[in-house]
Amino acid sequence: MYQFSGKLKTFSLALILLGALGITYGFFTAPKTVEEAKDIIAQQVDSHGNGHEVLHEDAKKIEHATENHDANKAHVSADAHGKHHDAAHDEHVFHQLQNKPWSAVYVALFFFLGISLVVLAFYASQRVAQSAWSVVLFRVMEAITANLVPTSIFMLLFIVASIMHMNHIFPWMAEGTFTPGHENYDAIIDGKSWWMNIPDWTIRGVVYLLIWNAYRWFIRRNSIKEDTANDANKTYKLNYNVSVGFIFLFMLTESMMSWDWIMGLDPHWFSTLFGWYVLSGFLVSALTAIAFVTIYLRSKGFLPAVNDSHIHDLAKFMFGFSIFWTYLWFAQFMLIWYANIPEETTYFAMRFEEYKLPFIGMLGMNFVFPILLLLNSDFKSIPWFVVIGGVVILLGHYVDVFVMVMPATVGAHWSFGITEFSALLFFLGVFIFTVFSAFAKANPIPVGNPFLKESEHFHYYNIEHRGEGSGDHH
Amino acid sequence: MESSKVIHAFYTDDEILLDAVKTVKAKHHHIEEVFCPFPVHGLDKAMGLAPTRLAITAFFYGITGLCFAIWMTNYMMIQDWPQDIGGKPSFSWLENMPAFVPIMFELTVFFAAHLMVITFYMRSRIWPFKEAENPDPRTTDDHFLMEIPVHNNVDELTALLQKTGAVEINIVDKH
């Protein structure tokens, strides 16, 4: 039985505390009025000098271009247009600056929620596939899904905060978007109001979270039941059937969740493979998270049945899904770039102009680095290699979520500062705390699983196992 | 001539063969060749064969294909005749790069796959009209054959092989 070490517990609580402090600081320093927002921008321009100003002017141009295009507002006189536009611009910048701490929390929240959720989906897939290799990792995966509970609660709070207009994260929630004649009226969004309206959006969000948490609660309870069931695999078969159902529901809710919670940030933009794209990013991150927790627990001696071949398989999944992510990223980007239809291209134009470093950098982190590092079969079974690859992959996919969310919510005013870092620390702390306390609550080996023996003897022929008895394998 | 003699030991089960290989290796006899009707997992490890380097060659063939694709697209589309085709930016290779990625990908795979296969054929000496080197037709069906060169130790080897469960032991002159 694993014992959540006091050191790790203190560490995770320190992360939570530090993160909470940083997040509070972020909300405290966000502007309260349009004037404050103007001051902040003026200060930035002063301190950054000319180069930034030019950049900022560029940013303004893009913003204006998208605004004009987006809002489809007909302005009668050029004079009125100018005045109205300045005021509208100030208001816009003010909302973006106000969004900064919200977005910082949202990016980190969505990142950890997605990882926990997809670990759950991967776990369900392993049950459905009756795969034997991963059985000794079942309790690790179950423990990671424990993080789904707190992240779901935070997501629920975020949903409530958004519908109460405490933030401007979802532009379609603004006052008057659906009211013809209102200055915020947006005919394009109004055309989508059958899907994008606050009651439906809220209900859908709650339903997703309920479905995911219900399955997690059920499968965790019944997986532990399996250990002592001794009922000719009846419990095992029930778990199998429920997992089949969950995978079906997961695929539906995951797509819809990515429309509601990410694509809804840019209500004028749409992409058909977006749900898959979001899924692929979290698949890599989920496998990396499993590998990390496994490697850590194995190094502490709590997973004696896990051998180098299990690590090798996890790394293979990390490698394969990294390429899968790149494939979907590129498929989405290239189709839009090639056809260059303005209503779709603004999405990437904005990201390429304002987020060049993270936008291109994440391709290096999520594709080039893992492909070169994890291509070699020997490297894939060396824990510290997998850890190095995994750190870059996880950071890369954080950047991916960052580039999905930030351009829509804070536009050109993005930065990676105290608030963003604190939000990451906060949810990392929550992750460590929930995952390891959940792992301490059950037998680390699922002794009732009919595939356990096979999993314990799992051996990939091509690699040499270091420091473990592999003489009896052939 | 004594040195050109070999022993052919036949087995009918891959597990028995694997144990036999380990026994023979343990007695420090050189195994010239093992003929099997299908791949036996762990046979290469038991025989102490060096791991294949085919994957490494494939990696470099892939890089070659990628370089070829980059050179080709750059020469044809950017250098030689940079036409405006449907507004695609042909000012520099990088600007038009996304359009070339499908070609780059396919040529990387093409080079890696085909050149690796050809390398495999050459290293394994397989080609059409090549004369089969099979010492006994049963080894393509249901028998396993271990070939051990003889150096004045026929009796000792025969006794050893008999103990390992060989169903048939022949001493053959190799020409």
- The structure tokens listed for A54 are 């030019």
Residue of A nearest to B55 (CA): A376
| Residues of chain B falling short of pLDDT 70 | 1-3, 175
How far apart are alpha carbons A344 and A270 in whole angstroms?
A: 7
- Burial class of A57 by CB neighbour count within 10 A (0 to 12, 13 to 18, 19+): exposed
Kindly state whether B28 is in contact with chain A, defined as any CB-CB distance less than 8 angstroms.
no
pLDDT at A378: 87
Query: Which tens digits make up the pLDDT trace of A400-458?
Result: 999 999 999 998 889 999 999 999 999 999 999 999 999 999 999 999 999 999 999 99
- Whether residues B59 and A474 touch (CB distance < 8 A) is answered with no
- The structure tokens listed for B24 are 């023979």
Kindly state whether B56 is in contact with chain A, defined as any CB-CB distance less than 8 angstroms.
no
pLDDT at A47: 59
Residue of A nearest to B88 (CA): A338
CA dihedral over B123, B129, B134, B135, signed as positive or negative: negative
Provide the shortest C-alpha distance from residue A78 to chain B (in Å).
32
pLDDT at A87: 80
- Whether residues A338 and B98 touch (CB distance < 8 A) is answered with yes
* Residues comprising chain A, all counted: 474
Provide the shortest C-alpha distance from residue A111 to chain B (in Å).
28
Provide the shortest C-alpha distance from residue B92 to chain A (in Å).
16
For residue A330, list chain B residues with Cβ-Cβ distance below 8 A.
Answer: 98, 101
pLDDT at A68: 46
User: The pTM is what?
Assistant: 0.90
> Among B42, B45, B99, whose Cβ lies nearest the Cβ of A338?
B99
- Whether residues B42 and A338 touch (CB distance < 8 A) is answered with no
Provide the shortest C-alpha distance from residue A470 to chain B (in Å).
12
Kindly state whether B89 is in contact with chain A, defined as any CB-CB distance less than 8 angstroms.
no
Tally C-beta pairs within 8 A across A and B: 21
HEC string of chain A equals CCCCCHHHHHHHHHHHHHHHHHHHHHHHHCCCCHHHHHHHHHHHHHHHHHHHHHHHHHHHHHHHHHHHHHHCCCCCCHHHHHHHHHHHHHHHHHHHHHHHHHHHHHHHHHHHHHHHHHHHHHHHHHHHCCCCHHHHHHHHHHHHHCCHHHHHHHHHHHHHHHHCCCCCCCHHHCCCCCCCCCCCCCHHHHHCCCCCCHHHHHHHHHHHHHHHHHHHHHHHHHHHHHHHHCCCCHHHHHHHHHHHHHHHHHHHHHHHHHHHHCHHHCCCCCCCCHHHHHHHHHHHHHHHHHHHHHHHHHHCCCCCCCCHHHHHHHHHHHHHHHHHHHHHHHHHHHHHHHHCCHHHHHHHHHHHHHCHHHHHHHHHHHHHHHHHHCCCCCHHHCHHHHHHHHHHHHHHHHHHHHHHHHHHHCCCCCCCCHHHHHHHHHHHHHHHHHHHHHHCCCCCCCCCCCCHHHHHCCCCCCCCCCCCCCCCCC
Q: Is the ipTM beyond the 0.85 threshold?
A: yes
CA dist A102 → A93, A96, A149, A160, A171 (Å): 15, 10, 20, 13, 14
Residue of B nearest to A464 (CA): B45
pLDDT at B1: 47
| Residues of chain A falling short of pLDDT 70 | 45-85, 465-474
For residue A375, list chain B residues with Cβ-Cβ distance below 8 A.
Answer: 59
Coil, strand or helix at B47: helix
DSSP bridge pairs for B148: B7
Coil, strand or helix at B116: helix
Alpha carbons within 13 angstroms on the beta-carbon side of residue A185 total 8
- Whether residues B46 and A474 touch (CB distance < 8 A) is answered with yes
- Whether residues B18 and A461 touch (CB distance < 8 A) is answered with no
Kindly state whether B27 is in contact with chain A, defined as any CB-CB distance less than 8 angstroms.
no
Residue of A nearest to B46 (CA): A474
- Whether residues A337 and B98 touch (CB distance < 8 A) is answered with yes
> Among B55, B87, B101, whose Cβ lies nearest the Cβ of A334?
B101
For residue B101, list chain A residues with Cβ-Cβ distance below 8 A.
Answer: 330, 334
Candidates B14, B19, B45: best to mutate against A (most CBs of A within 10 A) is B45
Kindly state whether B59 is in contact with chain A, defined as any CB-CB distance less than 8 angstroms.
yes
pLDDT at A340: 92
Angle (deg, nearest 10), helices A308-339 and A274-299: 160
For residue B99, list chain A residues with Cβ-Cβ distance below 8 A.
Answer: 334, 338
